[in-house]
C-alpha cells in the first residue's frame, strides 16, 4: 500500500514514478493501435506491358520472328494481293505501288531460295516413296499375299523416278494458275478413283494401282493451297458417300 507523507520531499519518488507512468502509457497505447503501413511502388518501379526490347533497344514483336518469305506467303494466301491487283487494273495509285512492291519482294525471295528445286523434289520423293511402299505392303496384306521387305524396297525404287519427275514439275510451276487447276483436277481424279477401286475392285492386279493413286492424292492435297485442298477433300468425300457406281457391284 502506498503512503503519502506530508513532507513533499518524501513524496518525490512517488511523484516521479507517476510522471513516468503517465508519460509512457499513451506511447504504448499508440504503438498497440498502430496499423502496418502499406508501401506503394513508385512510378519508376512499375513495369508497364509492352513489347520486348532487343539488344539495340528497339521493340521486338512476335511477328518479327516469322521469316519474310513466310509473311509473303500468308499475305498471298489471304487474298489481299488479289485485291491490290484489281485496284491496280482500275488505276489506284498507292495500292498499285504497294502491290508492285510486294510482287518485287516476292520475286526477290524466290530468286534467293536457299534450297534449289531439285533438292526439294528429292526430299519429297523420299517421303512419298515411303508412303508408296507402305500402301504396297497394305494392299498385299489385304489379299493375304506374302511380300518381303526387299521386294517392297524394289518397288519403291522403281516408282521413285516417276515420283521425282511429277514432284519436280509440280513443285516448280505450282504458282501458275493453270498448274494449280491441273493439280486440283488430278487430286480429285486420283482420290475418286482410289475410292472406286476400294469399293468395286475385287482383283489384286487392279488394286496394285491403289498405292500410286493414294500417294499422288496425298502429295497434291498437301502441295495445294487451303481452299483447293478443301475442295478436293469434299469432292472425294461426296464421291464416297453417294458412289455413282453402285450398280457395278
Name, in order, each residue with C-beta under 8 angstroms of 166's C-beta and a sequence gap of 6 or more: 216, 219
Region 127-141: mean pLDDT is 91
Region 151-161: mean pLDDT is 92
pLDDT of residue 30: 47
Q: Would you say how long the chain is, in residues? A: 249
210 DSSP 8-state letter? H
Name, in order, each residue with C-beta under 8 angstroms of 213's C-beta and a sequence gap of 6 or more: 190, 191, 193, 194, 197
> At residue 229, does pLDDT exceed 90?
yes
Return the higher-pLDDT residue of 123 and 74: 123
Name, in order, each residue with C-beta under 8 angstroms of 89's C-beta and a sequence gap of 6 or more: none
Q: DSSP strand E in the chain: where?
A: 52-53, 59-60
60-99 residue pLDDT tens: 666 677 777 777 777 777 766 666 555 555 555 455 555 5
CB atoms near residue 69 (< 10 Å): 16
Confidence bin at 248 (pLDDT 50/70/90): very low
From the CA atom positions of the chain, what is the Rg in Å? 41
pLDDT of residue 29: 47
Return the higher-pLDDT residue of 211 and 4: 211
The pLDDT mean for the chain works out to: 76
pLDDT of residue 228: 92
135-144 residue pLDDT tens: 999 888 888 8
Amino acid at each position: 500500500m502506498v503512503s503519502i507523507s506530508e513532507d513533499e520531499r518524501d513524496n518525490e519518488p512517488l511523484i516521479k514514478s507517476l510522471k513516468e507512468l503517465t508519460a509512457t502509457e499513451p506511447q504504448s497505447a499508440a504503438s498497440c493501435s498502430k496499423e502496418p503501413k502499406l508501401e506503394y511502388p513508385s512510378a519508376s518501379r512499375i513495369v508497364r506491358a509492352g513489347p520486348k526490347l532487343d539488344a539495340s533497344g528497339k521493340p521486338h514483336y512476335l511477328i518479327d520472328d516469322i521469316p519474310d518469305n513466310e509473311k509473303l506467303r500468308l499475305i498471298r494466301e489471304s487474298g489481299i494481293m488479289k485485291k491490290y491487283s484489281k485496284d491496280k487494273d482500275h488505276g489506284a495509285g498507292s495500292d498499285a505501288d504497294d502491290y508492285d512492291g510486294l510482287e518485287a519482294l516476292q520475286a526477290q525471295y524466290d530468286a534467293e531460295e536457299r534450297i534449289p528445286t531439285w533438292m526439294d523434289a528429292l526430299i519429297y520423293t523420299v517421303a512419298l516413296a515411303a508412303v508408296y511402299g507402305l500402301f504396297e505392303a497394305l494392299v498385299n496384306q489385304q489379299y493375304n499375299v506374302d511380300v518381303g521387305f526387299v521386294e517392297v524396297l524394289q518397288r519403291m525404287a522403281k516408282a521413285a523416278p516417276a515420283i521425282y519427275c511429277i514432284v519436280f514439275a509440280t513443285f516448280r510451276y505450282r504458282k501458275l494458275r493453270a498448274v494449280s487447276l491441273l493439280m486440283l483436277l488430278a487430286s480429285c481424279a486420283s482420290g475418286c478413283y482410289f475410292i472406286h477401286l476400294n469399293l468395286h475392285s475385287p482383283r489384286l492386279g487392279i488394286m496394285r494401282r491403289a498405292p500410286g493413286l493414294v500417294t499422288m492424292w496425298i502429295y497434291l492435297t498437301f502441295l495445294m493451297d487451303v481452299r483447293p485442298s478443301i475442295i478436293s477433300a469434299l469432292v472425294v468425300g461426296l464421291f464416297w458417300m453417294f458412289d455413282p457406281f453402285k450398280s457395278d457391284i
